[in-house]
Structure 1
Amino acid sequence: MRRIFKVLLILLVFITAEEGYAQSKTRIVCVGNSITFGSGLKDRARESYPAQLQTLLGPDFEVMNLGVSGATMLKKGNKPYWKTKEYQQVLSSAPNLVFIKLGTNDSKQINRAEMVSFVADYKDMVHSFQGLASKPKVVLLLPLKAFSETQFGISSAYLKDSLIPMVQKVAYEERLELLDLYSLFGDKESLLADKVHPNAVGDGFIAERLKAYVLQKNKPGKDLSTKIKVPLKRRSFYGYEELDFSFKGRDARIVSPKQVAKGMPWVWRARFFGHEPQADIALLERGFHIVYCDVAELFGNQEAIGIWNDFYRSLQKMGFAKKAVMEGMSRGGVYVYNWAAVNPDKVACVYADNPVLDLKSWPGGKGTGPGSKDSWAIFLKDYGYANDAEAEAFKGSPIDKIGAIVKGKYPMLHVCGDMDEVVPMTENSLPFAEKIKAAGGEIQLIHKPEGKHHPHSLPNPQPIVDFILKATGY
């Protein structure tokens, strides 16, 4: 009898040790549809993105693939995730982190009549996970881009224009982190053989993105609204909180990440706030703030620089990093470089996109480009010129300030359409880059061979994001 008791005691110790070992791991549960499940892969047990994520993270983590092919978020969809055994497994798994990637199948025509309930159903699922004893963090994943309007009944246009804004609404109202897999696949059609499901390489991209998120060491940020002493409005910027207020009579905005990177890095968008926002969104995911102070239409003159100097000082009082990532689209290029020329020690890097670098090219139209008569008239007024003849002596464009710009020793990236019909590269980025390099500066150009002035940015902003992360040390 005593011997049996000893054996039972040993077994109990062993089982307890095993349970303790399992609980010491961070348990990640992947909720989703056929893409999560791994449909179409030769070896889903190894090639699905949850499986690859497990390999990337190693033994300190346990990643569970609870994807269900065809599943919808909608409770009254044609195949609700709510009614699956996998949903019950999530509830009993004691997760530490739950990734939700549902919505693709909800875009099908058969489910459209129920879409009025999508946001409420999504919130209910989030709450069902948050209410578990393990108190898991819940992170939302935007659906991948589909490259078809009919394949499997899934509509790419509906995903982009209708469903994704609903997921972003949930993220904003529930204060949840959100990862943009849609843009990640903006240039990866070749990895989706059936236009919807990624191959093993595509799943690898998802796994790498989730790994980077899991290992991020960001922390909750402070409520910046308490440091803004004027009336403000709150709104959603693609799922993130945007504070809108007035600064010296100018429209100002600050968008905060859900978790802030160490040192409080930030991107200063010069013009066209919210236009082609994919790079901004990707950096918000990584803990960067996005800020904006409208100085249109001053074309980077001394008044504009003075306003921005004051705005910069106000941001420093809020705790922002000393050096900013300057982002200038089109005429925004003039603003960021003219300010950087005066403040070289306050710039971490510059990302410019089809940028105006010679105001005589645009809006002046003094070269091969069409220019803009109305904007040129504003330019003349901003710089105190009575007519074109007086403006011939103008030397206040970025292309005239190479020495001051390279003094900052920060890297520069230009994304340019080789066929830009508004801001010709031959009058702007090409001669500018030559002069920068000749002066010892660091600049690289990403060419879009068939690209025109629009659209700006890249469908998948990863090259831009990688440049900024490297330049800022993240």
Structure 2
Amino acid sequence: MNTSPTDSMKRYYFCFLFILCYPLLSPYAYAQNKVRIACIGNSITYGHGLTNREQNSYPGQLQTLLGANYEVMNFGVSSKTIIRNVDNSYVDTPAYQQALKSNPDLVFIKLGTNDSRLPYRLQINRFVPDYKLLIQTIKALPTHPRIILLSPVASFLTDTTRQTDQAISALVIPRIQQVAFDEKCELIDLHALFIDHPDYFPDKLHPDSLGTAVIAKRLYEAVISQEEKGFDFFKTINEPVKVSSFYGYDCADFVLDGRACKVVKPRRAAKGLPWIWRARFWGHEPQTDIALLDRGFHVVYCDVAELFGNAQAITAWNNFYAFARKAGLAPKVALEGLSRGGVYIYNWAAANPEKVACVYADAPVLDLKSWPGGKGKSKGSLADWEIFKKDYGLISEEQALAFTGNPIDKVADIVNGHYPLLHVVGDIDEGVPVSENTAPFEEKVKALGGQIQVIHKPNIGHHPHSLPNPTPIVDFILNATHP
């Protein structure tokens, strides 16, 4: 049908006016398109002690970071607990009912701090079932929201009747991790982000606006993170599997080619399927692994103890790498080696430079003559020295002393991989002296133009490994795996 220019112009102006007037005709149209985020919590969520709490609480700062396409709602109420049937139960508040009616797409739950204080801690065995009931109620909402559990932040109180960090760490956080495992909820570990920041807590319990900014930034990262939808590593494992909780995450134990292996999967696998490979001492000082699981990394382990990075160990790791790649994980992996694990990760990295995204080595053994040999400042370990010699077929002490298969002997191969290196060392480490391991290794790496950063811990020996707040380590790995 032919139309005149006049008719066409009329239709054009009608559409133009309709677009202009649509917000007036439908005042809820824009709001309905927003992502609605409900922040359930206690006084820290509410913003206790903050000037202009509406803006400076972490929900307020999260709103600023996310912008107009999101609506962040603060349902925090001071002094409230997860535990029910007590005088301060969160579920008895009007805010809880408002949260349930808010049609949320995403719910952050930051409760548990007050459950650690007297008298509530006397009923701590009710924490898990009561928390599960809260989560199940939220899961049943018509919007079926994404649910993220937040651990309590650190506390610097010393009054043992109150919310001390010892009580929070021992009584509350493990129970939150159990709930996350049982209910298959996402987790964010806020506790480690604050353990070294008493300066953020003017009253030793509530963070100031700088502290709430740290929380808001971490939640912002979770909100905008991209997911590799539909991926489930466990479905690719054809061997018998035993699943258990690794700090709230699903950990699969199985045997591959005769080697004990582990894979821990995140609740939401990050885009690109990044992963970190722990070489040794599974579960020891796990804060970096937990933080990366929170961000969608897989954490894996293939037991090659005690092979000290020999050809057999490299072959076993090559087989596991092929298995992980067939399952779908990223082509390049972040390597994590504590103590003697440094030998394992660097010897494999030197043989497989194209497969390495970065290396995080913690108090690493880089010269086996230093440890376990004890041929320098270290006392070494005679039993492990004999295992090392057997692993490499070294019959005499002279052969062992002439050994050139250490990471410190392979610096050129490591640097040619063009992946960044991070070492964390204790400056008074007597077991694995820095002067015999990281220091000469660092010097060689820099001389060849390699990328290495060393974090020194003054007045710290071989233990404890890692950092109480793993942020510098986590940021290094994120930068290397998400260029």
- TM-score, normalised to structure 1, is 0.95
**Alignment partner of 1:206 is 2:226:** no
Native 8 Å contact 1:76 1:114 kept in 2: no
Match of 1:182 in 2: 191
Whole-angstrom distance in 1 between the partners of 2:247 and 2:187: 10
- Residue range with higher mean Cα deviation, 418-427 or 186-195: 186-195
Match of 1:71 in 2: 80
State the secondary structure of the residue aligned to 1:18: coil
Q: 2:323 aligns with which of 292, 298, 314?
A: 314
Match of 2:382 in 1: 373
**CA deviation profile, 1:331-375 (whole Å, cap 9, x unmatched):** 000000000111111101000111110100001111111111111
Match of 1:32 in 2: 41
- Residue range with higher mean Cα deviation, 135-144 or 152-161: 152-161
Match of 1:9 in 2: none
Letter of the structure 2 residue corresponding to residue 366 of structure 1: K
Native 8 Å contact 2:273 2:297 kept in 1: yes
Q: 1:97 aligns with which of 106, 114, 128?
A: 106
**Alignment partner of 1:253 is 2:262:** yes
Letter of the structure 2 residue corresponding to residue 111 of structure 1: Y
Q: 2:169 aligns with which of 160, 168, 172?
A: 160
Native 8 Å contact 2:363 2:425 kept in 1: yes
Q: 1:385 aligns with which of 365, 389, 394?
A: 394
Native 8 Å contact 1:78 1:110 kept in 2: no
Match of 1:4 in 2: none
Whole-angstrom distance in 1 between the partners of 2:147 and 2:315: 43
Whole-angstrom distance in 1 between the partners of 2:34 and 2:189: 27
Whole-angstrom distance in 1 between the partners of 2:230 and 2:312: 32
**CA deviation profile, 1:217-263 (whole Å, cap 9, x unmatched):** 11344333332222110011111111000122221000001111122
Q: 1:440 aligns with which of 438, 445, 449?
A: 449
Native 8 Å contact 2:228 2:272 kept in 1: no
CA offset at residue 138 of structure 1? Answer: 1.2
CA offset at residue 441 of structure 1? Answer: 0.9
Whole-angstrom distance in 2 between the partners of 1:261 and 1:244: 22
Match of 1:8 in 2: none
Letter of the structure 1 residue corresponding to residue 306 of structure 2: E
Match of 2:298 in 1: 289
**Alignment partner of 1:396 is 2:408:** no
Letter of the structure 1 residue corresponding to residue 340 of structure 2: R
State the secondary structure of the residue aligned to 2:132: helix
User: 1:71-470 residue pairs with structure 2 within 5 A?
Assistant: 71-150=80-159, 153-470=162-479
Native 8 Å contact 1:420 1:453 kept in 2: yes
Native 8 Å contact 2:124 2:171 kept in 1: no
**CA deviation profile, 1:280-312 (whole Å, cap 9, x unmatched):** 111111111101001000111111111111111
Whole-angstrom distance in 1 between the partners of 2:24 and 2:79: 38
Letter of the structure 1 residue corresponding to residue 347 of structure 2: N
Letter of the structure 1 residue corresponding to residue 79 of structure 2: G
Whole-angstrom distance in 2 between the partners of 1:84 and 1:22: 26
Whole-angstrom distance in 1 between the partners of 2:233 and 2:227: 17
Native 8 Å contact 2:241 2:253 kept in 1: yes
State the secondary structure of the residue aligned to 1:153: coil
**CA deviation profile, 1:147-183 (whole Å, cap 9, x unmatched):** 2342771121121122111111111111111000011
Whole-angstrom distance in 2 between the partners of 1:352 and 1:360: 18
Whole-angstrom distance in 1 between the partners of 2:324 and 2:289: 18
Native 8 Å contact 1:72 1:78 kept in 2: no
Query: Which runs of 5 or more structure 1 residues have no equivalent in the other structure?
Result: 1-11
- TM-score, normalised to structure 2, is 0.93
Letter of the structure 2 residue corresponding to residue 271 of structure 1: R
Whole-angstrom distance in 1 between the partners of 2:237 and 2:54: 51
Question: Cα distance 1:420–1:89, how it changes in 2: closer, same or farther (>3 A)?
Answer: same
- Residue range with higher mean Cα deviation, 439-448 or 75-84: 75-84
Question: Cα distance 1:223–1:300, how it changes in 2: closer, same or farther (>3 A)?
Answer: same
Match of 2:3 in 1: none
Whole-angstrom distance in 2 between the partners of 1:75 and 1:325: 43
Whole-angstrom distance in 2 between the partners of 1:220 and 1:236: 22
Percent of pairs with identical residues: 54
CA offset at residue 409 of structure 1? Answer: 0.5
Whole-angstrom distance in 2 between the partners of 1:221 and 1:293: 25
